[in-house]
Amino acid sequence: MSQDTSPVPAGAGPVAGGPLLDVRGLRVEFRTRDGVARAVNGVDYSVEAGQTLAVLGESGSGKSVTAQAVMGILDSPPGFVTGGQVLFDGQDLLTMPAERRRRIRGARMAMIFQDALSSLNPVLSVGDQLGEMYRVHRGASRKEARAKAVELMERVRIPAARERVRQYPHQFSGGMRQRVMIAMAISLEPELIIADEPTTALDVTVQAQVMELLAELQREFRMGLILITHDLGVVADVADKIAVMYAGRIVENAPVRDIYRAPAHPYTKGLLRSIPRLDQKGSELYAIKGLPPNLLHIPPGCAFHPRCPIARPVCRTEVPPLYAVDEKRTSACHFWRETVGDERAAADRP
């Protein structure tokens, strides 16, 4: 008998002590006419039930591609997973039979995208799209599905849900559409949600409301949440830990408090300095010099060296491994001691 037929125990939860999702050494490349773009080059990160991991990094650093490989929705070809493991509840999603993986993806993991308008079907009412999940996965009747859709819309605080359940995506504002996406994601009570820049397309006040909603639902359902963003300002309040990505690698992994207090990688330091601060009104905003590398030609040694203010000769030749800064933190910088030390010293000064 193939493993394919064994049922996926719904809501069984992770093995005691093990992370809900454990990504190890993940590699993804895009085979294009111009050459091979190495988009993900050995990513390690993990998230536990009830925990929020924020994945940070400039545009093009491989955040979305990593998430797509985890979810099993990578555009392939041209994208190929060429190495690593994606352990969900202790089982490697990359090697399990496709059907089994599809069932896990449907019921136990969900993804929220930046652009709700292009993720929703324009010719189906919001209610039908929300109800569809119950009809397909739970065999609910039309009437039951409609009632569930209203309940979900109320849960994500869409006003007048009973009337709006019949409306189409274009009749909703950006913020309300994103709430519909969140409702869809939580409909089957998944254990893990990956939210890829869920608020980027919204204006600032709406961003905060949507983030708050997501954080609240995450606590209520004790879900694991991976929050992908390029906005360090957003994550301070909601994340437990942060993985900073650069050129397809995690360059720093740390609990959120540690990273704000004393980053252990010059890239993280640069990102932090480039957040606008209320107490520094009028002063010019810092920007990391240069641009992220072209992934067809990643610089040798430390990929960040052309932009790093403290780069030395060794940085151009030796790829920094992920050094353990302490039991909860890693940094891929040869000079992490100096980086974290300077920052700690600065934080301790009165």
Site for ligand SF4 in 258-317 (CB under 6 A): 265-266, 302, 304-305, 308, 310-311, 315
Is residue 95 within 8 A of residue 171, CB to CB? The reply is no
| Single-letter code of the amino acid located at 194 | I
Indicate the residue among 184 and 244 with the shorter CB distance to ligand ADP: 244
Q: Shortest CA distance to 342 belongs to which of 231, 283, 265, 285?
A: 265
295 contacts which partner out of ligand SF4, Mg ion, ligand ADP, none, CB within 5 to 8 A by kind?
A: ligand ADP
From start to end of the chain, where are the E strands?
Answer: 21-32, 35-47, 52-56, 79-88, 91-92, 109-112, 192-196, 224-229, 241-246, 249-255, 323-326, 329-331
Binding residue (CB under 6 A) for ligand ADP from 20, 26, 39, 247: 39
Is 340 among the residues that bind ligand SF4 (CB under 6 A)? no
What three-state secondary structure class fits 109?
strand
Is 72 among the residues that bind ligand SF4 (CB under 6 A)? no
Is 32 among the residues that bind ligand ADP (CB under 6 A)? yes
Contact stretch for ligand SF4 (CB under 6 A) within 24-32, 60-68, 237-245, 331-339 = 331-339
Is 199 among the residues that bind Mg ion (CB under 5 A)? no
Site for Mg ion in 54-73 (CB under 5 A): 64
Give the position of tokens 């988009």.
Answer: 39
Judging by DSSP bridges, how do beta strands 79-88 and 21-32 pair with one another? antiparallel
310 contacts which partner out of ligand SF4, ligand ADP, Mg ion, none, CB within 5 to 8 A by kind?
A: ligand SF4
For 50-107, the DSSP string reads T-EEEEE--TTSSHHHHHHHHHT---TTTEEEEEEEEEETTEETTTS-HHHHHHHHHH
From CA 104, how far away is CA 10, in angstroms rounded?
A: 9
Q: Shortest CA distance to 53 belongs to which of 268, 227, 292?
A: 227
Helices (H), 281-335: 313-317
Min dist CB 27 to ligand SF4, Å, is 20
Contact stretch for ligand SF4 (CB under 6 A) within 27-35, 107-115, 256-264, 333-341 = 333-341
Contact stretch for ligand ADP (CB under 6 A) within 54-62, 121-129, 198-206, 330-338 = 54-62
Min dist CB 58 to Mg ion, Å, is 10
317 contacts which partner out of ligand SF4, Mg ion, ligand ADP, none, CB within 5 to 8 A by kind?
A: none
Which residues of the shown chain bind ligand ADP in the complex (CB under 6 A)? 30, 32, 37, 39, 57, 59-65, 75, 78, 295
Binding residues for ligand SF4, rule: CB under 6 A, are 265-266, 302, 304-305, 308, 310-311, 315, 320, 333-335
- Residues making contact with Mg ion (CB under 5 A): 64
